[in-house]
């Protein structure tokens, strides 16, 4: 799926998602699961807002010196006996992974959760080469069985319900007793744990992502709750870390600052259960740990985002808060976005990585309510960047077709009053919060049904319509 | 150009730098040398009994259980009590850590085996390098005496931490690592562990024991 994004069909995807009753039930749980917990966790830490500033500043500082921190990181990994590989493109990264797996004589590889692995379409590539990849994060495992991509960056199976999981396990797990009771989540977990335990112990190579790469020490860090990432990386002979250039931070102290906002923003925990710092392969005398340690650092278009309107996106720490709080994501789920990264962060990042021609619809998937930016732990101005994409689309003369479909997209929401009301409830409260409403529309084209009884608040910077008109004037005149 | 050179060239082109600018290099070298601490939350900045109490409260919030004993000699009995209270087999696996080795295990009926875990152990006992009060986090370092597999494979993980090794914040814990292993050097693995393994991946229901331990029991040695 990674190689064939369905992002160009966002509207169709979204329409299908809205009609999917099971998906809608699953999405309704996002609020209980994430939003309330984040609020509670933030409230328990008086310094939370100031730490968000710290996290932003650390990332900005690192990006401004990215070449030098990467050099230092590479040096330290090499000094600790590990190997660093740089990859320009997804294809290069896949080939490096495959070469390392072949050298290790790998038949099965276990995988911790890695968005980079999704980005480069690693599983299909390994399978085609006769190597079996086994996802070990419970959510990733479930969607692997279902042949689906993740629908959320930290809760990949958030769209799946327990009954579906039971059906998948019964379909795939050979030798599973028909009479075995799998009617509750806890029983499903026990089944998955037992099956995956065997896989962990049998794997030849373990592949994980990285939340951070530390320049000071040459350390890679993963943050998980299940412990699957750790079993993935300490049991096999070879550990491969998949990372991208912007994951590097200067020092251990910087990591400490950022992890204080990471879990709180993601799941509302003060700390995720496991934060693991790995430096090089096993040491003399060690009884466990990998003998070979490889880090693959992917660019895939990121270096070209530096020093542009999109540089801020490279601060992203993949916490998922922006999608948890996004009315569009809450309505249509992650699959509608059609590629690896959904929600507001995906709407900004995807056009950078796969091209605006394929993902030009995504920056339109926004009500500009501003909630994503208000919760982003590294304060990425996501709505502003979505607007940049629209402007850029226009300048590139992908318009008017693309802009017309953007308008059509808006109309799509406008014609679905229930969804629209939901979206606007967020929009209005966000506006009340920042108090920068500068006016109200009495009437809007396509939304007259909705505006008949109420006013429509206009966010600063203009609605899509206003902007569209402005852009058209600019290009015409 | 190699992929590596290309990636660096592209970063530098975007940033408008050559990589040789001395002031930039100085900034980076300084930052790594000084490793500024940033903003430390007030929560963890308490001492003595208060720090122990905070560590305990936070660890329990993360769904660990905590016991306190007066001296290291009391640990084996506390381990045996924990296992009995949960109807767990009276067998433990542990590394060769000297602090654990010198405890009077023979005073209990526990069957003690040593070494890494192969996945067949029900209970493991480890000694923490430090504990972080602000979030009830244990800091474990790997080494020949402390195999990492013990932290993840057994169903029940019992971790001993000395009250004198409790620190207020993560920064302090990592400074302790730096002081022990040397600047810029790290043990192969440092595990920050906050509560038992869990997953919310099935309908966002919180379930303990996803792949790692179902139970995390912490024994704080006060003396
Ligand atoms: S853009 Fe911000 S809120 Fe969204 S995933 Fe990235 S860091 Fe989290």
Domain boundaries, chain B: 3-33, 46-221
Tokens, residue A368: 């500009």
Domains held by chain A: number = 2
The band of B86, judged by pLDDT with boundaries at 50, 70 and 90, is very high
Report whether pLDDT(A97) > 60: yes
Residues A243-254: pLDDT tens digits?
A: 999 999 999 999
Q: Bigger pLDDT: A327 or A281?
A: A281
Question: Is A253–B37 a contact, with Cβ atoms under 8 angstroms apart?
Answer: yes
> How many degrees, rounded to 5, is the angle at CA A198 between CA A210 and CA B151?
55
What local confidence, expressed as pLDDT, does residue A446 receive? Answer: 37
Separation of CA A263 and ligand 1 centre (Å): 12
Phi then psi dihedrals of residue A188, to 5 deg: -65, -40
Question: Is B197–A219 a contact, with Cβ atoms under 8 angstroms apart?
Answer: no
Residues B26-55: pLDDT tens digits?
A: 999 999 999 999 999 999 999 999 999 999
Q: Which of residues 357-416 of A touch B (CB under 8 A)?
A: none
Domain end among A303, A333, A366:
A303
Cβ of residue B163 closer than 8 Å to a chain A Cβ: no
Q: Are strands B123-127 and B156-162 parallel, antiparallel or unpaired?
A: parallel
Say if CB A276 and CB B68 are below 8 A apart: no
Compare CB distances from A288 to B116, B198, B210 and report the shortest one's residue.
Answer: B116
| Interatomic CA distance for residues B199 and B202, integer angstroms | 8
Q: Is residue A464 part of a domain?
A: yes
Residues A167-226: pLDDT tens digits?
A: 999 999 988 888 999 999 999 999 999 999 999 999 999 999 999 999 999 999 999 999
Q: Are strands B207-208 and B198-199 parallel, antiparallel or unpaired?
A: antiparallel
Quick check: CB of A342 below 6 Å from ligand 1?
no
Separation of CA A231 and ligand 1 centre (Å): 27
Quick check: CB of A321 below 6 Å from ligand 1?
yes
* Residue B88: Cβ-neighbour burial (10 angstroms; 0-12, 13-18, 19+): middle
Cβ of residue A24 closer than 8 Å to a chain B Cβ: no
Residues A137-156: pLDDT tens digits?
A: 999 999 999 999 899 999 99
What local confidence, expressed as pLDDT, does residue A439 receive? Answer: 32
Domain end among A249, A273, A303:
A303
Phi then psi dihedrals of residue A362, to 5 deg: -60, -40
| Interatomic CA distance for residues A213 and A216, integer angstroms | 9
Q: Facing residues of B143 across strands?
A: B146
Report whether pLDDT(B145) > 80: yes
Segment A261-282 mean pLDDT = 97
The band of A409, judged by pLDDT with boundaries at 50, 70 and 90, is low
Cβ of residue A287 closer than 8 Å to a chain B Cβ: yes
Gap from A155 CA to chain B (nearest CA, Å):
6
Question: Is A80–B186 a contact, with Cβ atoms under 8 angstroms apart?
Answer: yes
Q: Which region among A244-258, A449-463, B193-207 has the lowest average model confidence (pLDDT)?
A: A449-463
Tokens, residue A316: 């992203």
Q: Is residue A327 part of a domain?
A: no
Q: Is residue A399 part of a domain?
A: no
Say if CB B133 and CB B192 are below 8 A apart: no
What local confidence, expressed as pLDDT, does residue A401 receive? Answer: 52
Q: Is residue A449 part of a domain?
A: yes
Say if CB A173 and CB A196 are below 8 A apart: no
Residues A15-31: pLDDT tens digits?
A: 888 888 888 888 887 76
| Interatomic CA distance for residues A24 and A418, integer angstroms | 13
Report whether pLDDT(A396) > 80: no
Same domain, A292 and A419: no
Complex prediction ipTM: 0.97
| Interatomic CA distance for residues A402 and A399, integer angstroms | 5
Which DSSP helix (H) or strand (E) runs through A414?
helix A401-414
Interhelix angle A401-414/A10-18, rounded to 10 degrees, is: 10
Q: Is residue A386 part of a domain?
A: no
Gap from B74 CA to chain A (nearest CA, Å):
28
**For the domain that residue A83 is a member of, what is the CATH number?**
3.40.50.10420
Q: Is residue A9 part of a domain?
A: no
| Interatomic CA distance for residues A393 and A398, integer angstroms | 6
Query: What DSSP string runs through chain B?
Result: --HHHHHHHHHHHHHT--S--HHHHHHHHHHHHH----PPPGGG---HHHHHHHHHHHHHHTT-EEEEESSGGGHHHHHHHHHHHTT--SEEEE---HHHHTS-GGGS--EEEES---S--SEEEEE-SEEETTTTEEEEE-BTTB-THHHHSSSEEEEEEEGGGEESSHHHHHHHHHHHH-TT---SEEEEE-SS-EE-TTTT--EE-SSS-SEEEEEEE--
The band of A415, judged by pLDDT with boundaries at 50, 70 and 90, is low
Q: Is residue A208 part of a domain?
A: yes
Tokens, residue B189: 């693995």
The band of A461, judged by pLDDT with boundaries at 50, 70 and 90, is very low
Other CB atoms within a 10 A radius of the CB of residue A4 amount to 9
Gap from B18 CA to chain A (nearest CA, Å):
9
Question: Is B174–A253 a contact, with Cβ atoms under 8 angstroms apart?
Answer: yes
What local confidence, expressed as pLDDT, does residue A326 receive? Answer: 92
The band of A359, judged by pLDDT with boundaries at 50, 70 and 90, is confident
Cβ partners under 8 Å of residue A452, min gap 6: none
Tokens, residue B186: 């790290």
| Interatomic CA distance for residues A119 and A345, integer angstroms | 14
In percent, how much of chain A has pLDDT > 90? 65
- pTM value surpassing 0.90: no
In percent, how much of chain B has pLDDT > 70? 100
| Interatomic CA distance for residues A94 and A96, integer angstroms | 5
The single residue listed with the structure tokens 């080939």 is A95
Class of domain B46-221: alpha beta
Domain end among A247, A276, A303:
A303
**Around A81, how many Cα atoms within 13 Å sit in the side-chain half-sphere?**
17
| Interatomic CA distance for residues B215 and A400, integer angstroms | 59
| Interatomic CA distance for residues A186 and A180, integer angstroms | 13
Question: Is A139–B12 a contact, with Cβ atoms under 8 angstroms apart?
Answer: no
Give the domain range for residue A460.
413-476
Measure the N-to-C terminal CA separation of chain A; round to a whole number of Å.
Answer: 42
Cβ of residue B155 closer than 8 Å to a chain A Cβ: no
């Amino acid at each position: 799926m990674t190689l064939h994004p369905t992002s160009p069909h966002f509207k169709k995807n979204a329409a299908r998602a809205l009609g999917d009753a099971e998906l809608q039930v699953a999405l309704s749980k996002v609020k209980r699961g994430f939003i309330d917990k984040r609020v509670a966790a933030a409230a328990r830490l008086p310094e939370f807002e100031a730490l968000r500033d710290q996290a932003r500043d650390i990332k900005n500082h690192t990006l401004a010196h990215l070449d030098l921190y990467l050099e230092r990181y590479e040096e330290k990994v090499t000094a600790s006996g590990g190997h660093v590989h740089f990859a320009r493109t997804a294809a290069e990264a896949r080939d490096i992974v495959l070469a390392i797996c072949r050298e290790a004589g790998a038949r099965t590889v276990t995988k911790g959760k890695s968005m980079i692995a999704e980005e480069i379409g690693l599983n299909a590539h390994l399978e085609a080469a006769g190597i079996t990849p086994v996802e070990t994060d419970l959510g990733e495992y479930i969607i692997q069985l279902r042949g689906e991509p993740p629908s959320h960056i930290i809760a990949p199976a958030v769209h799946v319900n327990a009954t579906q999981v039971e059906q998948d396990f019964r379909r795939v797990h050979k030798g599973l007793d028909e009479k075995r009771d799998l009617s509750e989540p806890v029983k499903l977990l026990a089944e998955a744990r037992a099956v995956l335990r065997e896989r962990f112990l049998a794997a030849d190579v373990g592949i994980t992502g990285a939340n951070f790469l530390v320049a000071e020490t040459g350390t890679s860090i993963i943050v998980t709750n299940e412990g699957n990432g750790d079993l993935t990386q300490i049991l096999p002979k070879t550990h491969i870390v998949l990372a991208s250039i912007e994951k590097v931070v200067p020092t251990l102290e910087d990591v400490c600052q950022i992890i204080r906002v990471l879990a709180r923003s993601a799941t509302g925990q003060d700390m995720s259960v496991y934060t693991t710092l790995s430096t090089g392969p096993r040491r003399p005398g060690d009884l466990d740990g990998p003998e070979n340690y490889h880090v693959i650092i992917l660019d895939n278009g990121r270096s070209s985002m530096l020093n542009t309107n999109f540089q801020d996106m490279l601060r992203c720490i993949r916490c998922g808060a922006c999608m948890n709080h996004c009315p569009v994501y809450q309505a249509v789920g992650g699959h509608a976005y059609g590629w690896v990264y959904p929600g507001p962060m995906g709407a900004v990042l995807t056009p950078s990585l796969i091209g605006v021609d394929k993902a030009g619809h995504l920056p339109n998937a926004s009500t500009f309510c501003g909630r994503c930016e208000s919760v982003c732990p590294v304060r990425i101005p996501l709505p502003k960047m979505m607007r940049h994409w629209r402007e850029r689309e226009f300048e590139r003369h992908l318009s008017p077709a693309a802009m017309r479909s953007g308008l059509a997209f808006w109309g799509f929401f406008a014609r679905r009053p229930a969804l629209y009301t939901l979206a606007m409830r967020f929009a209005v409260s966000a506006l009340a919060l920042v108090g920068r409403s500068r006016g109200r529309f009495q009437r809007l084209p396509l939304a007259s049904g909705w505006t008949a009884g109420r006013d429509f608040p206009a966010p600063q910077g203009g609605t899509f319509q206003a902007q569209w008109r402005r852009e058209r004037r600019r290009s015409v005149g | 150009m190699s992929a590596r050179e290309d990636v660096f060239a592209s970063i530098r082109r975007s940033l408008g730098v050559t990589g040789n600018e001395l002031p930039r290099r100085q900034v980076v070298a300084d930052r790594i040398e000084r490793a500024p601490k940033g903003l430390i939350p007030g929560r963890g900045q308490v001492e003595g009994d208060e720090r122990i109490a905070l560590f305990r409260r936070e660890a329990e919030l993360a769904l660990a259980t905590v016991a306190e004993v007066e001296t290291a000699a009391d640990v084996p009995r506390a381990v045996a009590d924990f296992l009995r209270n949960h109807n767990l087999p009276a067998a433990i696996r542990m590394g060769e850590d000297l602090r654990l080795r010198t405890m009077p295990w023979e005073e209990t009926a526990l069957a003690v085996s040593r070494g890494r875990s192969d996945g067949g152990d029900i209970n493991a006992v480890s000694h923490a390098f430090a504990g972080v009060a602000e979030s009830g986090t244990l800091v474990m370092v790997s080494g020949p005496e402390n195999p990492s597999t013990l932290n993840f494979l057994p169903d029940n993980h019992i971790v001993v931490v000395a009250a004198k090794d409790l620190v207020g914040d993560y920064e302090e814990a990592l400074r302790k690592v730096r002081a022990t292993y040397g600047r810029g050097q790290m043990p192969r693995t440092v595990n920050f562990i906050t509560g038992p393994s869990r997953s919310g991946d099935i309908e966002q229901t919180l379930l303990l024991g996803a792949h790692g331990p179902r139970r995390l029991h912490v024994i704080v040695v006060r003396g």
